[in-house]
Amino acid sequence: MTINRLSVVIITKDNEGSIANAVQSGAFADEIIVLDSDSTDNTVQIAIDHGAKVHNQEWLGFGKQKNSAIKLAKNNWVFVLDSDETITQHLANEIESTLKHPKHMGYFIARLNTFFGKQIKTCGLYPDYSVRLFDKSKAQFSNVSVHESVQMDSPAGYLKAHMTHNAYETIDEFITKQNRYSSLHSSKRNLLKAITNPYWTFIKMYFLQRGFLDGWHGYVISKLYAQYTFWKYIK
């Protein structure tokens, strides 16, 4: 039987607070590749101490950086993990089982996000599917600065188990990161959308996607994403 070995791939930049959990969660894989971008904290040493193979490259933008990272993997099958994410044991087991007889060249993985200390399944934030497990000879990331996605010619399958994502610990962290993302966004400035779309974002997330069921967390998350929508179209 052919064994499809797996490489877990992570890109980093000053992630010393989360990289240990990310690397440890990928310990079931054949190798763990970390592509760092000139971290000034202890990210690199922590990753090495937990068994990762660490490389360095100046920042190219999310899409190009991840494509560079997967090229470093010795195996065709890769799982691309962010530094603030972890692969659960249920997901690790499902990945190992799937790779024995893969029916697709890539797989969508659900993600359970934690905002301000609470796991959120409303606001349209779960299952939050994206292709993370794939054969790199058949797929690659779009070469964009932010909101990159895996591009492949054939349909991807879906795994049942989810990974976890410690999205934001504080409101200040959310504002800082989303302000940066909105500056990287490729949309042209649109004053009409800057006025109208934030209202729709809040209504969709808080009411239609049942953010109100998560109380204060759902309200704050909906308001913050509405603010991000404003920044995205006003810059």
Pairing assessment for the beta strands 85-87 and 118-120 based on DSSP bridges: unpaired
Classify residue 166 as left (phi > 0), alpha (psi -120 to 50) or beta.
beta
Q: What residue type is 199 in one-letter code?
A: Y
Nearest-10 Cα torsion for 194, 200, 203, 204: -120
Structure tokens at 129: 């599917």
> Is residue 200 in a domain?
yes
Measured between alpha carbons, how far is 210 from 64 in angstroms, rounded to an integer?
35
Q: What is the pLDDT of residue 186?
A: 59
Choosing from 121, 142, 168, the residue where a domain stops is 168
Q: Which domain holds residue 112?
A: 6-168
> Is residue 1 in a domain?
no
Q: What residue type is 43 in one-letter code?
A: T
Give, in order, the Cα–Cα distances in Å from 102 to each of 5, 31, 80, 133: 12, 19, 17, 11
Report the number of distinct structural domains present in the chain.
2
Measured between alpha carbons, how far is 51 from 27 in angstroms, rounded to an integer?
8
Domain identity same for 125 and 147: yes
- 133-164 per-position pLDDT tens digit: 999 999 999 999 888 999 999 999 999 999 99
Measured between alpha carbons, how far is 110 from 12 in angstroms, rounded to an integer?
21
Domain identity same for 146 and 201: no
Domain identity same for 138 and 220: no
- Give the residue carrying structure tokens 């065709």: 76
Choosing from 128, 147, 168, the residue where a domain stops is 168
Choosing from 152, 168, 184, the residue where a domain stops is 168
Q: What is the pLDDT of residue 184?
A: 74
Measured between alpha carbons, how far is 220 from 102 in angstroms, rounded to an integer?
41
Closest to 110 in 3D by CA, of 133, 144, 141, 93: 133
Beta bridge partners, 112, equal 164
pTM as predicted: 0.93
Measured between alpha carbons, how far is 72 from 173 in angstroms, rounded to an integer?
31
Percent of the chain as helix, strand, coil, to the nearest 5: 40, 25, 35
Q: What is the mean pLDDT of each run of 10 residues along the chain (235 residues)?
A: 87 97 98 98 98 97 97 98 98 97 98 97 98 98 93 97 96 91 76 96 98 97 96 90
Q: What is the pLDDT of residue 138?
A: 97
Closest to 70 in 3D by CA, of 16, 9, 22: 9
